[in-house]
């Protein structure tokens, strides 16, 4: 946790104020909803996404943020939280960060409605202050996230994902929201400048590295307390697996695809697939690609003067690829 505290240090005041404003943005006249949002707030994660918003804004604006930056951070966190609540329903997942998910405690119908409410609050936070440019950024992100999920489902049925299609999926599914965080931070203080696109790209590259790191966890690259092979069981085509397929002859490909399609619940077979992917160099290849995305992200920061915020963003990018969970 020490590294996260270091990243957060230059924006500690803003994050504390943000948490108050975020709680206000989630309030409702319905007691049941307030009970659920209280549950969500008390089980929040590291809040990396709002941190991206504040660090980007402060880097570009000599350490100063305004109400637009707080709105941007709230919009991002509301939409992100809504997507997690909906994801747990779609995936029939009963745990989130070690705690029971909303759908596990209050059932699917309530969880879907809570997600809808959070989405609507995200839109309203933008509209209340006439921040149409911020609304445009998050609307594009939500569209991309939905398309990415559907593209992954479509391709999983046939297991015909190329490396190029895989990048399209993770760009839309994961990277687009981190891209929105950084462009939102830039847009909140420097609207209609080239900085908005520069930091959108920066966030996208961070997001690509972030998702590849998640792929590596599925192969036991780190001991994180999460069972390995989850992506294989769910027939998700990750980068290590795609690379291994490309390095296989016809017979090996047939065995690999048959294993994923028809034997993904067989623990012994899943272990064999993991071992095969490692032996074919799938993990090493994925690490190389992840580090390339990280280096491309860091190169975009080089054009900006040194500051505590630039240092913290650099730490954040390195944390994305070095994290243990």
Give, for all 325 residues of the chain, the pLDDT tens digit: 588 889 999 999 999 999 888 888 877 888 888 888 878 777 777 789 999 999 999 999 999 999 999 999 999 999 988 888 777 777 777 766 667 777 777 878 888 888 888 889 989 999 998 999 999 999 999 999 999 988 888 877 777 788 999 999 999 999 999 999 999 999 999 999 999 999 999 999 999 999 999 889 878 755 444 456 677 777 778 899 999 998 988 899 889 888 888 887 888 888 888 899 999 999 999 999 999 999 999 999 999 999 999 999 999 999 999 887 7
The candidate with the shortest Cα–Cα distance to 65, out of 200, 185, 178, 177, is 185
Structure token pair of residue 214: 């998640």
Q: For helices 67-90 and 176-189, what crossing angle results, to 10°? A: 170
The per-residue pLDDT for 218 is 78
The per-residue pLDDT for 286 is 95
Residue 82, CA distances (Å) to 69, 108, 121, 123, 190 in order: 20, 13, 10, 12, 27
Please give the Cα distance from 14 to 59 (Å, whole number).
14
The per-residue pLDDT for 187 is 97
> Exposure of 265 by Cβ count < 10 A (0-12 exposed, 13-18 middle, 19+ buried)?
exposed
**CATH number of the domain where residue 157 is located:** 1.10.600.10
Structure token pair of residue 76: 């991002």
SS3 230: helix
Residue matched to tokens 């590294």? 3
Please give the Cα distance from 203 to 177 (Å, whole number).
8
The per-residue pLDDT for 225 is 40
DSSP sequence for 29-93 = S-HHHHHHHHHHHTT----HHHHHHHHHHHHHTTT---HHHHHHHHHHHHHHHHHHHHHHHHTT-
The per-residue pLDDT for 224 is 41
Angle at 128 between CA 122 and CA 130, to 5 degrees: 105
Q: Which domain holds residue 63?
A: 3-322
Domain count, the chain: 1
């Amino acid at each position: 946790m020490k590294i996260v505290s270091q990243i957060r240090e230059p924006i500690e005041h803003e994050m504390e104020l943000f948490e108050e404003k975020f709680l206000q943005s989630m309030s409702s006249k319905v007691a049941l909803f307030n009970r659920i949002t209280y549950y969500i707030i008390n089980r929040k994660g590291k809040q990396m996404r709002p941190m991206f918003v504040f660090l980007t804004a402060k880097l570009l604006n000599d350490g100063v943020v305004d109400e637009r930056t707080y709105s941007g951070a709230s919009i991002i966190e509301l939409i992100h939280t809504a997507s997690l609540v909906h994801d747990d329903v779609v995936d029939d997942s009963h745990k989130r960060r070690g705690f029971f998910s909303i759908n596990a405690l209050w059932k699917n119908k309530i969880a879907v409605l809570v997600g809808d409410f959070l989405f609507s609050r995200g839109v309203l936070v933008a509209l209340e202050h006439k921040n149409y440019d911020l609304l445009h950024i998050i609307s594009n992100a939500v569209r991309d996230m939905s398309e990415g999920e559907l593209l992954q489902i479509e391709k999983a049925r046939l297991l015909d994902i190329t490396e190029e299609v895989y990048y399209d999926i993770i760009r839309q599914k994961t990277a687009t929201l981190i891209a929105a965080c950084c462009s939102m931070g830039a847009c909140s203080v420097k609207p209609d400048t080239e900085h908005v696109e520069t930091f959108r790209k920066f966030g996208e590259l961070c997001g690509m590295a972030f998702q590849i790191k998640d792929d590596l966890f599925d192969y036991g690259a780190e001991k994180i307390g999460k069972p390995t092979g989850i992506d294989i069981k769910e027939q998700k085509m990750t980068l290590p697996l795609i690379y291994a397929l490309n390095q296989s002859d016809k017979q090996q490909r047939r065995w690999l695809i048959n294993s994923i399609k028809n034997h993904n619940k067989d623990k012994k077979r899943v272990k064999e697939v993991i071992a095969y992917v490692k032996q074919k160099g799938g993990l090493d290849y994925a690490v190389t690609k992840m580090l390339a995305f990280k280096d491309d992200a860091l190169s975009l920061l080089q054009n900006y003067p040194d500051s505590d915020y630039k240092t913290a963003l650099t730490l954040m990018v390195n944390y994305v690829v070095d994290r243990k969970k």
